[in-house]
Amino acid sequence: MSTAANGLEALGTARSFQPDLVLLDVMMPGENGYRVSRMLREDEALGVYPNGVKILLLTARDLSSDPERESMFCEFSQADRTIYKPFDLERVIAEIGNLLGDRIEDLVQLPC
């Protein structure tokens, strides 16, 4: 597991760490989560992530009341899922489980 303080650091960390899953806040310093997600997908197309990478966006920018705009941002970012704040931890865990499927069994159990 690794963390990053801004969008460009997140991209660099992902490139070196090659994670199965990336959780991105949309409103990060530097590059926003939508753009970082898009760049991760471009890297994926070049073979940077041989097992693929799942992307979960977390955002306070709730666009669910504007489906056209929400669709535009989802299409641009190419993220697998978006969760709007406020959210509960159980929802995030459930989404991670849905995204990783069988790969979640390979992850190390971390203490809370």
pLDDT in tens, 21-60: 999 999 999 999 999 999 999 998 888 887 889 999 998 8
pLDDT at 108 over 50: no
The set of residues, in sequence order, having a beta carbon less than 8 Å from that of 50 and lying 6+ positions away, is 18
* pLDDT top residue among 99 and 69: 99
For residue 90, give Cα distances in angstroms to 31, 39, 93, 95: 28, 28, 5, 9
Q: Full-prediction pTM beyond 0.95?
A: no
Instruction: Fold for 7-96, please state it.
Output: Rossmann fold (3.40.50)
Per DSSP, which regions of 54-110 are E strands?
54-59, 81-84
Residue extents of the structural domains in the chain: 7-96
Burial 60-72 (b: 16+ CB within 10 A, else e): ebebeeeeeebee
